[in-house]
Every structure is written in structure tokens, then in C-alpha cells.
Amino acid sequence: MKKTLVLKCGGSILNQLSSEFFRSVKQMADENWNIVIVHGGGPDINSLLSELNIESEFFEGQRKTTPEILEVVEMTLAGKLNKKLVRKLSEAQLNAVGITGQDGGLLTAEFLSREHLGFVGRVTSVQTEILQMLLDKGFIPVVAPLARTEDYQALNVNADLAASAIARALQADKLLYVTDVKGILQEKKLVDEINPEEINGLIEKGVITGGMIPKAKAASGSLSEHLKQVMIVSGKQTFFKEGKFIGTKVCKQKEAAEK
């Protein structure tokens, strides 16, 4: 029986994905893994908003998605970035299909806070039929994190949370957060394995800083009864070699981690 993997690629790493990264994906596919990729796109969205002179409002550090901004988000995520990633996978001899969370009713969401955040959503349900259909035919679904409400209003969804919701719904064996470093580093050395309590401790000590904080917290928050291990890996180099993953394993208890 095939194992299933969900890869989440943040917007900041999308334009830096290396040939080694795509070779790792190809090796996994050759070793009979089902692979789903979910991607973000923050930097490109910011760039286009700037080019179009569209001003943003922020609430507690998060951008409010107005109707005008939602149009830019849809163009960037579903258009430019989704198709660019599909093309790169195709160049690596991988069959990929680009979709959004709105396609096939994949992601249903509700407004997170319409007053403060506008058209930003919280995933409430995942219908995996379209993913399963593509996986069964040997395709890699590449998902842009856009969802729809029960009455078909488009919503912008956090890519980390979309990936986590999809991994849970598919009962994925692994969820990987792809970053610009090998994983969590302590004194410049890779931390092979860590649990949520240890992550909180390293954040308090200032060892985990900057952009790694939300990634580490997202990895911790994704752990569940079925998904007992999440990984933080690099998009700039090999993350899968000879059947082994290279990066930081995040698991509830070290002794519970699958080797």
C-alpha cells in the first residue's frame, strides 16, 4: 500500500527550490509515495500589491484581505505561482496538476473575522475526492490555498493550516514543511528530532528565532493521533536520500517517533 506525503512550500522558498529538491521529490515518487504539494505566495503577493499601488490594512500583524486584494491573491496563487511550480515539477519528469482549494469542493472555510481580516478563512472541512482521483492516476496535486464558503465565496487561507488540514483528511503518513534551511538549528547544528515542549523551550531561549518560529509552531500544531511525525526540511538541497528524510523531525514524544 502506498504511503502519502503532504509537502508545504512557503512563498519565500518557492523561487529558491533547487534541482536537488525536485530530485528528492522524484525519488519519492519512484519509491511509490503519493505526494500532495500545498504552496503559499506571500512575497509575490506583496510585490504585485506594491506594483499596483494597492495599500494594505493590518490587524494584529495580519493583512486584511479586501475584495481588491483577494483578486490579487487569486491571480498570484492560482495563476502565476501554481503554474510555475507545476512546470518545474514537469521539468523534473513528474506528472503534476495545479488546482486550488476551491476546485472539486476540496476546501470549505468560514470567515476568520470578516470585520478585521476581510476575506480570510478558517478551513472547516476537506473533501479529498479530487486529490484521491489525481493520486490514483499517478499525478501530484499542487494546491493553492484558496477555499470557498458554503455559499461559494472565495477566501484566502493560511497555507500552513491548509496543508495541515489536507494531511489530516488524507490520513497522510508524513507532513513536510519546506524551508530555506535544513531544519531547526542549535549552535549551527541540525536538531534531528524534537518535541513541542522542547520547541517552546528553544523559542524562549532565543535559539529558534525569526521565520523559523511560525514554521516550528505550525509543525507542532499539525501533530495528531494519526500524524505522529512532522518534518522541517530544506528546499535548497536534498531532503530524501536512500529512503531516509533529511531534516528535523517534530513528534509528540521522541520514543513514539517512527524510525
Catalytic residue selected from 11, 101, 118, 235: 11
Chain center to CA of 222? 11
pLDDT, one tens digit per residue, over 72-127 is 999 999 999 999 999 999 999 999 999 999 999 999 999 999 999 999 999 999 99
Catalytic residue selected from 44, 103, 160, 173: 160
Distance CA 235, CA 13 (A): 7
Note if 8 is an active site residue. yes
Note if 192 is an active site residue. no
Distance CA 255, CA 245 (A): 18
Note if 183 is an active site residue. no
Catalytic residue selected from 8, 88, 174, 249: 8
Does residue 242 register a pLDDT over 90?
no
Note if 247 is an active site residue. no
Neighbours of 141 (CB within 10 A): 26
Task: Give mean pLDDT, residues 139-154.
Answer: 97
Note if 221 is an active site residue. no
Catalytic residue selected from 26, 42, 84, 228: 42
pLDDT, one tens digit per residue, over 180-217 is 888 999 988 999 999 999 999 999 999 998 888 888 98
Encoded amino acid at 85, one letter: L
What is the pLDDT at residue 254? Answer: 59
- The answer to whether 135 and 34 are in contact (CB under 8 A) is yes
CA distances from 182 to 30, 80, 85, 171, 234 (A): 23, 27, 21, 25, 4
146-159 burial code (b ≥16 CB/10 A, e <16)? bbbeeeeebbbbbb
